[in-house]
Amino acid sequence: MAKAGRGYLSAGLPWILNIILAIIPVTSWILGGITRILRGHVIAGVLQLIPPITVFFWIADIITVILSKDLRIFA
């Protein structure tokens, strides 16, 4: 599946805005889940919304947004 943009919701948001969204837990969980579902990873998107698993995705999202400017883990 081709990506229209990078970062949350594949909207092509600026890198600094993606970092801010990744650091805030609630936005990271919700937008990360929606982004994964939109990119075709439905199971990962649903798993991100389950509280104990959410912490893993939250940390992974922060690291990957800082390093590669995009969500990389199951997205």
Over the stretch 46-71, which tens digit does the pLDDT of each residue have?
999 898 999 999 999 999 999 988 88
For residue 4, the model assigns a pLDDT of 58
Q: Is there a domain that residue 75 lies in?
A: no
User: Domain range for residue 34?
Assistant: 8-68
Cβ(7)–Cβ(69) below 8 Å:
yes
pLDDT digits (tens, 9 = 90+) for 1-36: 445 578 888 888 898 999 999 999 999 999 999 999
* Domain assignment of residue 3, yes or no: no
28 found inside a domain = yes
Token pair for residue 62?
């922060």
pLDDT for position 6: 83
Domain count, the chain: 1
- The answer to the question of residue 73 being in a domain is no
Q: Is residue 62 part of a domain?
A: yes
Give the residue from 72, 68, 67, 66 showing the smallest Cα distance to 16.
66
Distance (Å) of CA 12 to CA 7, 46, 55, 60, 63: 6, 23, 24, 19, 18
Please check whether residue 19 lies inside any domain of the structure: yes
